[in-house]
């Protein structure tokens, strides 16, 4: 049976992330983004407000208005503002603070990772094929 050294794994992950970020940021020309900073902030604030309202008034209510629903709503916020790993990280934070929510950890990864990601890849492939046939 294999044993994974958690400290070594964490160290390598941190090191790899730092190397990636240093390479990625070295080539960026941030001054070129200055002219779009204002509109980006407006869009970001609107997205956060809309996601919070949707998570509370739709997700939390539809899922039953209990602790599992709150955990799913937190995961939905992470998913809506980023990706499935963000949602899982949000739910993990809620779980560490307030206790386990097994239903939430069953629902969000399945819906987020499998159904939505696979559906998106299928839809993108279909539209790319349609666009290629029209050219």
24-40 pLDDT, tens digit each: 778 777 777 788 888 88
Q: At residue 15, does pLDDT exceed 70?
A: yes
Instruction: Bin 80: left if φ > 0, else alpha if -120 < ψ < 50, else beta.
Output: alpha
* Nearest to 103, CA basis, from 73, 80, 83, 61: 73
As a whole number of angstroms, the distance between CA 70 and CA 63 comes to 8
Q: Is residue 69 pLDDT above 90, yes or no?
A: no
Query: Residue 1: which pLDDT band, with cuts at 50, 70 and 90?
Result: low
pLDDT beyond 80 at 81: yes
Spatial contact of 108 and 120, defined as CB atoms under 8 Å apart: no
Residue 43: pLDDT band (50, 70, 90) is very high
Nearest-angstrom CA–CA distance, 52 and 35: 28
Identify the pLDDT of residue 80. Answer: 83
Query: How much is the average pLDDT of 120-133?
Result: 88
DSSP-derived letter for residue 99 is: -
Q: What is the CA radius of gyration of the chain?
A: 19
């Amino acid at each position: 049976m294999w044993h994974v050294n958690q400290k070594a794994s964490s160290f390598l992950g941190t090191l790899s992330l730092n190397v990636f970020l240093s390479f990625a940021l070295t080539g960026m020309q941030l001054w070129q983004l200055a002219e779009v900073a204002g509109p980006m902030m407006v869009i970001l604030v609107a997205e956060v407000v809309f996601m919070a309202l949707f998570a509370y008034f739709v997700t939390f209510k539809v899922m039953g208005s209990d602790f599992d629903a709150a955990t799913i709503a937190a995961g939905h916020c992470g998913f809506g503002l980023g990706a499935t790993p963000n949602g899982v990280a949000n739910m993990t934070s809620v779980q560490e603070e307030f206790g386990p929510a097994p239903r939430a950890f069953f629902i969000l990864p399945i819906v987020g990772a499998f159904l939505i990601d696979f559906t998106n890849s299928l839809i993108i492939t279909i539209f790319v094929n349609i666009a290629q046939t029209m050219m």
